[in-house]
Chains A and B, each alone.
Chain A
């Protein structure tokens, strides 16, 4: 009886045998001439040497996130939230969200920098721990000097988290026609404990949140911290006036009320920020 038919893909268990379909449709195991030597070699490779363990330990040490003060370059021993417990925690992720916070919120009142954290993983090009370059991922923490209750009260109790970030509009999935979308537009996603009505419509399914905002929201949901994420869908991912202004509806929310005083002045500061940060690129005209 001749065995005909296309062999199905098959790697079962450790051995290398191929499955083949016969003329009558039954599946039989055809022995593979490649043999079982591969199995032994793989096992050897899997055994860890002491050297591997040492490399792994060093990597883990490098990947540890440590907080430090930028001016003095000393690291902070105590957890930030213990030293400066807060009732309102506002996080901005991405250059447009950061520009919005810096011009509208941080220009009203005096904000003091309390710490800074930098991340390192194997894809980073340098291992400099204290110098912050704009190309790397880092985070600076500020607290309001005049009103220490913002960034001040028991951690995880009475704390409210507000997140701001941007995403490209091509990531937005909707059944409506794309030409009817007016980007940039704001969408909100909140945890169960967040009782306030959000300043814009909620993010519909099947859209999902990615990266750091997703991690923070999940943490808040698990620990029952009221948190809201304001996600701006825009077609300009670089710093852009229209995208930053799309965050303006948030200024009327309870979390930011009282923190924003002078809106016309903030708009001027924003324009200045944009002109200083404009990267000269001649690719697109």
Chain B
């Protein structure tokens, strides 16, 4: 039945599915994992870096992009679609600032991106965007925000979420480990993001990219060295926890 209703985007199937939108969500699962965490004074975005070909310039393969000084996003899915969405979002951020003389709120720009994606699920001849995005930032009121959008054009606020390949595993890890203690301070929130990614990333810290935004500060990308330091700390803590466990049992 699916094959008769999945060719044209504007056709509903008899049981109410928009198959092209659901297939677009499969395309998202082909992108590498991205995780977002909302702390009390910090928002963290971590992504699994795709391995770069030998002759490829690493700087051009970026999954985390700034939309404005106080908002940034990570995506999973079709690279080219992401580029188009990011460009439109960046233009909208500046246009809003020029018109209203205030920077965009995270919710506004998320709504803009979601509306854009929804338009492509309703016009004929155009396929949906094959990306999901995690948008983080601080509003003027100083409250940290994390939103997620998907190809159907819906958006929701989250405390922590993951998108892309193995997103389910990471989300389950976050559901277990996102506690008030875990986000008590900035470094704990960063460690939580890295630990969540280490669950699914294939070669450890080398393949992780991390970005944070602190209140009233702009986006900071972690260098490979800084990530390695965090990973070694996490591994040390794990070892100590295991030693304690084995002491308790003996």
Contacts and interface: CB of A to CB of B under 8 A. Distances in A.
Contact of B78 (A242, A278, A284): A284
Contacts of B195: none
A285 B165 contact: no
Interface in A265-285: 271, 275, 278, 280, 282-285
B124 interface: no
A170 interface: yes
Given A236-B165, A241-B202, A242-B166, A282 B26 contact: no
B169 to A, nearest CB: 8
B3 interface: no
A235 interface: yes
A284 B26 contact: no
Contact of A285 (B29, B56, B63, B168): B63
B51 interface: yes
A182 interface: yes
Contact of A282 (B76, B79, B165): B79
Interface string A213-233: 000000000000000000000
Contacts of A241: 202
Interface string B54-65: 001000010100
A235 B202 contact: no
B31 A170 contact: no
B79 A285 contact: yes
Interface residues of A, number: 15
A278 B207 CA distance: 15
Contacts of B63: 285
A176 to B, nearest CB: 15
B78 A182 contact: no
B219 interface: no
Contacts of A284: 27, 30-32, 77-79
A266 B30 CA distance: 26
B53 interface: yes
Interface string A170-182: 1000000001001
Interface in B1-54: 26-27, 29-32, 50-51, 53
Contacts of B51: 275, 278
Nearest to A168: B26
Contact of B32 (A179, A235, A278, A285): A285
Contact of A280 (B29, B31, B53, B165): B53
A168 B106 CA distance: 37
B114 interface: no
A50 B221 CA distance: 74
Interface in B133-173: 165-166, 168
Contacts of A182: 168
Contacts of A236: 30, 165
Nearest to A282: B79
Contacts of B75: 285
A271 B30 CA distance: 20
B31 A285 contact: yes
B82 interface: yes
B51 to A, nearest CB: 7
Contacts of B50: 285
A271, A278, A280, A284 interface centre (most CB from chain B within 10 Å): A284
Interface in A220-257: 235-236, 241-242
B55 to A, nearest CB: 10
Contact of B26 (A170, A242, A283, A285): A170
A90 B207 CA distance: 36
A46 B136 CA distance: 69
Given A182-B168, A280-B53, A285 B202 contact: no
B27, B30, B32, B56 interface centre (most CB from chain A within 10 Å): B30
Contacts of A282: 61, 79
Contacts of A280: 53, 56
A285 B82 contact: yes
B114 to A, nearest CB: 20
Contacts of B77: 284-285
A172 B29 CA distance: 17
4 closest residue pairs by CB, A with B: A284-B30, A285-B79, A280-B53, A284-B31
Interface of A: 170, 179, 182, 235-236, 241-242, 271, 275, 278, 280, 282-285
12 contacts: A182-B168, A235-B26, A235-B165, A236-B165, A241-B202, A242-B166, A275-B51, A282-B61, A284-B30, A284-B77, A284-B78, A285-B31
Given A235-B26, A285-B79, 12 more contacts: A236-B165, A241-B202, A275-B51, A280-B56, A283-B78, A284-B27, A284-B32, A284-B79, A285-B32, A285-B63, A285-B75, A285-B76
